[in-house]
Amino acid sequence: MTENEQLLDRVADQARNIRPWGWSSLPEPVEGAAVARAETALGFTLPPLLSALYLRIGDGGFGPEYGLLPLLDSPPSGEPAAVPQYLANRESGRKDPDWPWPEGVLPISHWGCGMYACVDCSTEQGMVLLYEPNADDARHAWYVDAPSLAEWLQTWLDGTGWYEESHEGDDLVPWADFPMRTGVTRTA
């Protein structure tokens, strides 16, 4: 059994036992056709582990805090779905070049107050970024949450994420690739 298989088993166990806010039950997993539709709409492929979460565990509703967003369709609770949220963020960034949304950075979990955990889909590992729109400007709104989706899930399972009460005040590192990916210069 691979490390990802073991991780998926642990995530599935946790997902069955813990409901994030607003989710009464774990949504059914999506079918392969839904992932294909999502990738077509996005214009890029999802990292394998992210696809596996949706295909094998559920269409959102598990994970840190409010849980993963559904992939394509918003649930009755009104929580946004990942693909439409990405497309809306990209469109908003085109309209307001001071707040661009990087290509290939998919929001996967809403933290509240406009903040999102996002996966950089430009690599198979899927670096997880924190988008914090309450910053003074876009140059100071992006941080590295975890070097990979696997590590992000592991911190959730272990209770060691920055969002845990015992880790409040931990500083996240600014996302160094933001200027290159958006053309916006980051200043100190």
Give per-residue pLDDT as tens, 38-69: 999 999 999 999 999 999 999 998 988 888 99
| Better-predicted residue by pLDDT, 67 or 1 | 67
Q: Which fold has domain 3-158?
A: SMI1/KNR4-like (3.40.1580)
- The pLDDT value given to residue 76: 62
- The pLDDT value given to residue 129: 96
Strands 105-112 and 142-146: unpaired
Kindly indicate the confidence band of residue 188, based on its pLDDT and cuts at 50, 70 and 90: very low
- Would the CA dihedral through 3, 9, 10, 15 be positive or negative? positive
pTM for this entry: 0.91
Angstrom CA distances, 67 to 80, 140, 182, 186, stand at: 12, 25, 27, 30
